[in-house]
Amino acid sequence: MTKILVVGHKGQLGRLLYEFPTDFEHVGLDLPEFDMTDDLAVRERLDAIAPTVVINAAAYTNVDGAEANPDLAYAVNAHGAGHLAKSCRRLGIPLVHVSTNEVFDGEADRPYDEWDQPNARSAYARSKLAGEQAVRFYHDQVMIVRTAWLYGPGGNNFPAKIVAAADKHGELSVVDDEFGNPTYAPHLALAIMGLIGRSAPFGIYHLTNSGVASRYEFACEVLRQTGREHIPVMPIPHTAWPRPSQPPLRAVLANRAAAALGIVLPSWQDGVAEWRLQVQG
């Protein structure tokens, strides 16, 4: 039987992958019991579990925090990913590694294809790009899955923050010049399991909900679908919302590789609709 090891199984995406209903056996590893920055610990745990495929959904995702602590971001997102890849190579099993749209600089005037050259700008983005490079250096049986603007039915994510801020303040100001692909985590989990189930070719895949939105448009859709469309939303430029780390303004991803296999995620508006049903019933 296929045994899937989900590293980071307590996180937003990892939990969904760990609990995904399949005939496969699922095993999870996460902090504090498992430290992927410890090469020996990674080797010993993977040997003991003997999985047939590993999904790395673990990451240091505090984008602004990475500017103040780049060593920690690099230890988890680059070295930790490399440790997993080395153990997978030694065991002769594939690795699915989850990455981010932020490996691109966002300056292109079109969506980024899987084969486009990354140009990471922030400490977080550089650590994630280093992770991509590490897993491909150490192992040749790797699927890198880049996604964007991920949110799920639980947790402190963008839609949840928008609803909470709207209820608290009665009005919002949201950046309107940053664009991406809002991606509902259950849709991404289904697509990743689809890659595994199809024994997809190794390489890079862009998996996001279909369509493009600005942060402002994303927020307005969340308010509309949760019955809060009466709450005023002021569009503002990103310069009016200073942050320690500036995300790329237009790191929009194009899904070509997975689409060629028949894997296309629903629209981002459908993702918001399913999120609303999960959080509001």
- CA dist 213 and 202 (Å) reads 29
Taking CA atoms, 187 is separated from 35, 83, 231, in Å, by: 28, 28, 28
Instruction: Report residue 87: phi and psi, to 5°.
Output: -70, -40
* Catalytic residue (choose from 60, 124, 151, 184): 124
Angle between helix 81-91 and 39-49 (nearest 10): 40
Instruction: Report residue 235: phi and psi, to 5°.
Output: -75, 135
Angle between helix 158-169 and 268-280 (nearest 10): 60
- Clarify whether 151 is annotated catalytic: no
CA neighbor of 255 nearest in space, from 183, 193, 197: 183
Question: Which helix (H) or strand (E) element contains residue 27?
Answer: strand 25-29
Question: Which helix (H) or strand (E) element contains residue 234?
Answer: strand 233-236
Burial class (CB in 10 A: 0-12, 13-18, 19+), 167: exposed
Q: Dihedral (C-alpha) 247, 120, 96, 278: value to the nearest 10 degrees? A: 0
Q: Which residues are catalytic?
A: 124
